[in-house]
Amino acid sequence: MTERISVRVPSDIKYSDLVHSISRQICFNMNFCDRDIHFVLLSVSEGFTNAVVHGNCSEPGREVVITYEIAQGILSIAIEDEGVLPIEENTGHAREMPRTEDESGRGVSLIRQFADEFTLVNVPKRGNILTMIFSVNNKSREAAEVHGEA
Amino acid sequence: MEVSKEQNSGYTCLHLDGRLDLNSSSQLKDQIKGLLSEGVVNFIIDLNGVDFINSSGLGTLVSILKDVRMVKGRMVLCNLAQYVHEIFEITQLSHIFDIYPTEKQAAETFSGSAVNVG
């Protein structure tokens, strides 16, 4: 059985704290380990910031919808904005990590690093939809082993 | 995010507490700009209380580092939480920042530095 939780917030970065809290609680309920939770929250933070700043271009009156789908240790998170242009066209973000001296452009690369699956599409007359899938004890366990934590 | 300032001989330590993201990063940047305008050029940024940083927070630290270097100052980081340190490794920002495990070790690198004017 899949549970679905949807949150619709005004397109304002001040709501990132609320989104952070909801995401944390969902991860906690799913028994993600601390490291998993940290990087799921980071990915959500990057996605929400991109939606507000780049997707919706910080225009008041627009909204961001975050939808969590929970099933069998798999968490799918979709972040949808009302942007007309694709986020990557708006930002010119390369898919690789930017140069170290760059002050921006790391958000999508970080999501790519931590999500098991990742898609970012622009649907005409609707907006950008970022979808990230995280599974309990998958990618982060492997990384934790590399860092000698497991 | 809370920022508390501690003036020492040779450097100023800023202790950060909270999340370093787009919401809070302008506060830190404004504080550093204010200090730079007062002639303070050497900084330790103590991230002991920072349990979360995203790309906006990283970008802010890169921006501050550039500003500090422009005035021939130095900025080092210390007390990074494990996951925060990991983000610096993944983004390779650990290559451009001087990062120390403790404030004491960071402070020792300022011995002999020009004393802050401010």
Q: Compare all CA atoms of chain B with the CA of A112 and give the residue at the minimum distance.
A: B90
CA dist A48 and B113 (Å) reads 42
Please provide the average confidence, as pLDDT, over all residues in chain A: 87
Question: Which of chain B's residues have a Cβ under 8 Å away from the Cβ of A27?
Answer: none
Interface pTM (ipTM) of the complex?
Answer: 0.85
Size of interface A-B (CB pairs under 8 A): 64
Rounded to a whole number, what is the distance in Å from the CA of A1 to chain B's nearest CA? 32
Please name each of the domains of chain B with its CATH number: 2-108 (3.30.750.24)
* B36-61 pLDDT per residue, tens: 999 999 999 999 999 999 999 999 99
Residue A74 has pLDDT above 90, yes or no: yes
- Domains of chain A in start order, with CATH, are 3-146 (3.30.565.10)
Q: Identify which of B85, B31, B87 has the alpha carbon closest to the alpha carbon of residue B54.
A: B87
Q: What is the pLDDT of residues A78-118, one digit of tens each?
A: 999 999 877 765 565 556 677 888 878 888 889 999 999 99
Tell me whether residues B52 and A46 touch, CB distance under 8 A: no
Chain A residues whose C-beta is within 8 A of a chain B C-beta are 13-14, 16-17, 20, 35, 38-39, 41-42, 45-46, 49, 53, 97, 100-107, 109-110, 113, 147
pTM given for the model: 0.87
**In 3-state terms, chain B is what percent helix, strand and coil (to 5)?**
40, 30, 25
Q: Does the beta-carbon distance from B56 to A20 stay under 8 Å?
A: no
Q: State both tokens at A87.
A: 């986020």
**Band of residue A60 on the pLDDT scale cut at 50, 70, 90:** confident
Q: Name residues 29-48 of chain B within 8 A of A (Cβ).
A: none
pLDDT at A137: 74
Task: DSSP for B49-91, please give it.
Answer: EEEEE-HHHHHHHHHHHHHHHHTT-EEEEE---HHHHHHHHHT
Q: Nearest by CB to A35, which of B58, B62, B83? A: B83
Nearest to residue A11, comparing CAs of A77, A67, A44, A57? A57
Q: Using DSSP, state whether A22 is helix, strand or coil.
A: helix
Tens-digit pLDDT profile for residues B64-108:
999 999 999 999 999 999 999 999 999 999 999 999 999 999 999
- What distance in Å separates the CA atoms of residue B5 and residue B16, rounded to the nearest whole number? 9
